[in-house]
Amino acid sequence: MAKWDEESVAAELLACEAERRDREPFTDEWPELDVDTGYRIQDANLEKRLARGEKLLGVKLGLTSEAKQRRMNVHAPFVAWVTDDMVMAVGDPVPQAKLIHPRIEPEIVFVMKDRLEGPGVTRESAMAAVESVAGGAEVIDSRYRNFRFRAGDVVADNASSGAYVVIEKTVSPDDIDLIAEPVEVYVDGKLEQTGTGADVQGHPGEALALAANDLARRGLAIEPGQVVLTGGITDAVFAPPGSTIEVRFGTLGSVTIEGG
């Protein structure tokens, strides 16, 4: 008999998060934990987050860039949830007390004007539903030791969610070249990562379309007012206590995050 099932994996992931405890991936012991099973676990834990009072704010994509896929050795993008419990204000340090081994990655963020429901969403129809664009940074964390996981594990773990910050400056989607938009990530003043919006599926709007089409497989949609984090543009950098991480976009502004 398998040691793990959907209910016990869901409970263990929330316990690891609460106790700041990492573990080996479930797929080592339960290889049947595939992406579809991972989504059922992810959704079950979203229900638990909402039942304990968190508010659903939107969607985040994972592994939409080649840099992230290569680093994590998982070669398909996926979607997950963001809640108000994950929000950082500009100027907030990394919430080390809540996280196990935080890493920071730059993200292009959309705020939605219209409901976006797949299937059949294209980059163009996705972008037509966007109210505004902002730069941001995600502080990812993983309940898996050394961020070692397979696709089903990381989908179940809400795509390594931790925290995120959105830079206050917003632009209309018509006023920015999202393919060319550059970003640099500095660690303690040293340039560590560079990328452009094109690194996210060729255009972050492709990632948005992908999210809507993927959610439709579960009968879900992206709602007006929700945020969408389109996925790390570059590989993530570690953010230990004492470090200073700066994410600097070309036109979308910059944010400095202290490791705490």
Interface ranges with ligand 0L1 (CB under 6 A): 62-63, 68, 72, 105, 138, 140, 142, 147, 154, 159-160, 231-232
User: 185: helix, coil or strand?
Assistant: strand
Q: Which is nearer to Mg ion, 138 or 153 (CB)?
A: 138
- Distance between CA 35 and CA 32 in Å, rounded? 9
In whole angstroms, how close is the CB of 1 to ligand 0L1 at the nearest point?
Answer: 30
**Number of residues in contact with Mg ion, rule: CB under 5 A?**
2
For the CA atoms of 185, 160, 76, 174, what is the dihedral angle to 10 degrees?
-50
Interaction between residue 141 and Mg ion (CB under 5 A): no
Alpha-carbon distance values, 204 to 85, 107, 122, 169, 180 (Å):
25, 9, 12, 18, 11
Q: CB under 8 Å to 72, separation ≥6 — which residues?
A: 63, 147, 149, 154
Measured from the CB atom, the residue of 135 and 232 that comes closer to Mg ion is 232
Which residue lies nearer to ligand 0L1 by CB, 35 or 128?
A: 35
68 binds, among Mg ion, ligand 0L1, none (CB under 5 to 8 A by kind): ligand 0L1
Q: How far is the CB of 62 from Mg ion (least distance, A)?
A: 6
- Please, which residue, 127 or 237, has the CB nearer to ligand 0L1? 237
Separation CA 176–CA 133 (nearest Å): 8
List contacts with Mg ion (CB under 5 A): 138, 232
